[in-house]
Structure 1
Amino acid sequence: MTSYIFEIIGTGMLILIGNGVVANLVLKGTKGADSGWIGISLAWGIAVFIGVFISADVSGAHLNPAVTIGLAAAGKFSWTLVPGYIIAQIFGAMVGNFLVWLTYKKQYDLTDDTDAVLATFSTAPAVRSYGWNVVTEAIGTFALVFGVFYIAGGALANEPISLGSLDALPVALLVMGIGFGLGGPTGYAINPARDLGPRIMHAILPLKNKGKSDWSYAWVPVLGPVIGALMAAGVFLLLN
């Protein structure tokens, strides 16, 4: 139970800081409108560092269903724990974006651009092409999960592995690099909970200028990361 709680806390902090910077960038009436893509990539790296550091020594700091599934597929995590971890991660992401909404409530009220409002919750492609969007998310998530295997020392022993607090910085740098290098086409969800949980919150919160939640795209940042995680697990097993 404690592991699930820390997955909720860690994922909540991830989304609070990560989508908080997006809100600071795109909503009207904030003081962070000049941070741009560099600011977003840096902030998501910092958000990962905080989330991992807080939860690593208790839950292993997956914070991401793709990481959980990838570790389980490689035999490094128990499949019996996977459903509970995924539920905790999605719920944590919902809580995190709820706190973003509370923080920026007056700015949300001022913002009439519905696409900007949605961007503070979930991802969207720069060019909508579902097949290629899945490919982009799969490649980005492959880079994340494959990197996590080696950052966490998974190649060193035939035992279950998890991230520790000392792994927070290298994982943060990995996510930052993915943002800079691979994030442009889809906004690099690389995490089904990061997209799905906040998208659910967008659908249910009383936003003044809500617009649509773009559910026609919502499956892409779920399927793409799962495919990428399974690919990473497969390559990891071939090499080890």
Structure 2
Amino acid sequence: MSEFAIKNDVAGQAKCRSQPPNSGGKILVHHLLAEFMGTALMIIFGVGVHCSEVLKGTKYRGSGHIFAITTWGFGITIALFIFGDVCINPAMVLAQCILGNLSWAVFIPYSVAEVLGGVIGAMIVWVMYADHFKASEEEVSPITIRNLFSTAPAVRNLPRNFFVEFFDTFIFISGILAISEVKTPGIVPIGVGLLVWAIGMGLGGPTGFAMNLARDMGPRIAHALLPIKNKANSDWQYGIIVPGIAPFVGAACAALFMHAFFGIG
């Protein structure tokens, strides 16, 4: 879930907070690290709140979905305030490439950096909650443990699940592109956080509103790699089809719609 568009300057290099003075490869590495760290921080907040809500012995166990969705929204806001004009979502990278604000050459590197950030962020959460994972081994089901890391549908119906993630992402990316047009300082991180909160509350029930390959696939990979006892299968079919592909389709449609209807791009 997340994500502010990176704008290009006249030289074709994307502007980023604390951009180093050197050009070329060093700037690309700087951006890749920003995407990696921003995504990792988002996942630390997001997967962390699910662990806090579900695992045995945590101080906030049973706190509910409002607690979780609010933390996702606030967490994304903080990540954007810290790292500036990052995408932290491969779907947003795609949208910016379609709109001409990013070079297609950075699409794969940015996306890989974001997924890796999701992996590391989820692993950090596992270390932080290791005692609670151990305490929950006999009480919390393996599937529930898996779902702390990645999304899962309330009712498994892949075509409908795909449509939900497509539509959620369409609204999400359209909203971010619109918010990005407002020039008031600080409004974008706050606006994106509120957008995440609204989508989560209104549209998140069927699938968990991933809207972001890095948000789902990164933690899903982490779950597959971590030494979790009695581990459930990683459900790669769902992960690839629904939170994997649908957000890209939604983002592409959002970029084309916002450009055609509002001239954004």
Which runs of structure 2 are paired with 1:1-240 in the superposition (5 Å)?
1-56=29-84, 60-112=85-137, 113-153=141-181, 166-219=187-240, 220-239=242-261, 240=263
Q: Per-residue CA shift, 1:7-31, capped at 9, x if unaligned?
A: 1111000000011000011111211
CA distance in 2, matches of 1:146, 1:174: 10
Q: Find the residue that maps to 1:217 and give its secondary structure.
A: helix
Q: Which 4+ runs in 1 deviate beyond 6 A?
A: none
Which position in structure 2 is the counterpart of 1:161?
A: none
The answer to whether the 8 Å contact 1:108/1:208 transfers is no
Q: Per-residue CA shift, 1:137-192, capped at 9, x if unaligned?
A: 011111111111111129x9xxxxxxx85411111111111100110000110101
Q: Find the residue that maps to 1:127 and give its secondary structure.
A: coil
Q: TM-score, normalised by structure 1?
A: 0.92
Q: Find the residue that maps to 1:238 and give its secondary structure.
A: helix
Give 1:53 shift.
1.1
Evaluate the alpha carbon distance shift between residue 165 and residue 94 of structure 1 in structure 2; reply closer, same or farther with a 3 A threshold. Answer: farther
| Identity across the alignment (%) | 38
Q: Find the residue that maps to 1:216 and give its secondary structure.
A: helix
CA distance in 1, matches of 2:260, 2:187: 27
Q: Find the residue that maps to 2:133 and give its secondary structure.
A: helix
Aligned residues: 229
Give 1:209 shift.
3.1
The answer to whether the 8 Å contact 2:54/2:62 transfers is no
- What is the letter of the counterpart of residue 131 of structure 2? K
Give 1:134 shift.
0.6
- What is the letter of the counterpart of residue 216 of structure 1? Q
Q: Find the residue that maps to 2:239 and give its secondary structure.
A: coil
Give 1:216 shift.
2.0
CA distance in 2, matches of 1:165, 1:191: 23
The answer to whether the 8 Å contact 1:135/1:224 transfers is yes
- What is the letter of the counterpart of residue 104 of structure 1? Y
Larger Rg: 2
Q: Find the residue that maps to 1:29 and give its secondary structure.
A: coil
CA distance in 1, matches of 2:152, 2:62: 21
Q: Per-residue CA shift, 1:184-234, capped at 9, x if unaligned?
A: 000110101100011011111101232211112111101110111011011
CA distance in 2, matches of 1:68, 1:230: 10
- What is the letter of the counterpart of residue 188 of structure 2? D
The answer to whether the 8 Å contact 1:146/1:236 transfers is yes
Q: TM-score, normalised by structure 2?
A: 0.83
Give 1:76 shift.
2.2
Q: Per-residue CA shift, 1:43-76, capped at 9, x if unaligned?
A: 10011111111111xxx22000011101111222
Question: Which blocks of at least 5 consecutive residues in structure 2 are unaligned?
Answer: 1-28
The answer to whether the 8 Å contact 1:74/1:236 transfers is no
